Amino acid sequence: MESKTARLTLLIDPHKKAAFERLCARQDRTASQVVRQLIRDYLAQHGVEFQPGAGQDSPPPPAPPAPATVPADRQRRAGAARRKT
């Protein structure tokens, strides 16, 4: 079973939601299980590859590195040097 690593919120007609939940219950599956399978199938159908963890969805990729910053003491020295000129 996949672990929950991200939340997907969507809007759906209440009657469709109820019918979907009833069908899932008849199949002894949760709505989340069915939606996760639908997403995996959709990705495969369109040739999109992803690297699942050991039975888990992969977490999002790491954020890009933060831009280099100038230490505060160097900022103060640079400001002082500009004021002297």
Write out pLDDT tens, residues 11-46. Answer: 999 999 999 999 999 999 999 999 999 999 999 999
d(CA 82, CA 85): 6
pLDDT at position 56, please? 47
The pTM is what? Answer: 0.56
DSSP string, 49-80: -----SSSPPPPPPPPPPPP---HHHHHHHHH
